[in-house]
């Protein structure tokens, strides 16, 4: 089967750094995506990794280790508006983009 696991909930303080982990076991691997979803809204694309290593995009960075089936999303200088669900998604070796269990992040002042 396909498994993409994330912690269910995380909390952090404004201005801090938080790391959201994602582990996956899928039928093939053609890239890993991170999406942000605010309550009641559509998911929006944050980052993409297909090779091992770190991709940096402003306050957001994403890391991938294909041998470990592991990724994380790093959010720096947290802001209140970063309170949202963060979804890890894997494109497998068919046409599927499969989402992980999602992590609800709450940022406190």
Partner 1 sequence: DTEVTQTPKHLVMGMTNKKSLKCEQHMGHRAMYWYKQKAKKPPELMFVYSYEKLSINESVPSRFSPECPNSSLLNLHLHALQPEDSALYLCASSRNSIGNTEAFFGQGTRLTVV
CB of 60 to partner 1, least distance (A): 14
Please identify, using beta-carbon distances, which residue of 8 and 67 lies nearer to partner 1. Answer: 8
**At 21, which helix (H) or strand (E)?**
strand 18-25
User: Which spans of this chain sit near partner 1 (rule: CB under 8 A)?
Assistant: 30-31, 33, 41-45, 48, 50, 85, 87, 91, 94-102, 104
- Report helix, strand or coil for 82: helix
CB of 94 to partner 1, least distance (A): 7
Please identify, using beta-carbon distances, which residue of 78 and 90 lies nearer to partner 1. Answer: 90
Please identify, using beta-carbon distances, which residue of 69 and 103 lies nearer to partner 1. Answer: 103
Phi, psi of 40 (to 5 degrees): 80, 5
CB of 75 to partner 1, least distance (A): 18
Q: Cα separation of 18 and 4, whole Å?
A: 20
* Six-digit token string for 51: 């090779």
Phi, psi of 64 (to 5 degrees): -135, 135
């Amino acid at each position: 089967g396909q498994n993409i696991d994330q912690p269910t909930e995380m909390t952090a303080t404004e201005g801090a750094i938080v790391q959201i982990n994602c582990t996956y076991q899928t039928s093939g691997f053609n890239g890993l995506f991170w999406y942000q979803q605010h309550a009641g809204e559509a998911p929006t694309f944050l980052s993409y990794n297909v090779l091992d290593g770190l991709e940096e995009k402003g306050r957001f960075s994403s890391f991938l280790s294909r041998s470990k089936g592991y990724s994380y999303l790093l959010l720096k200088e947290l802001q209140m508006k970063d309170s949202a669900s963060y979804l890890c998604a894997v494109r497998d070796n068919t046409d599927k983009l499969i989402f992980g269990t999602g992590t609800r992040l709450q940022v406190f002042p």
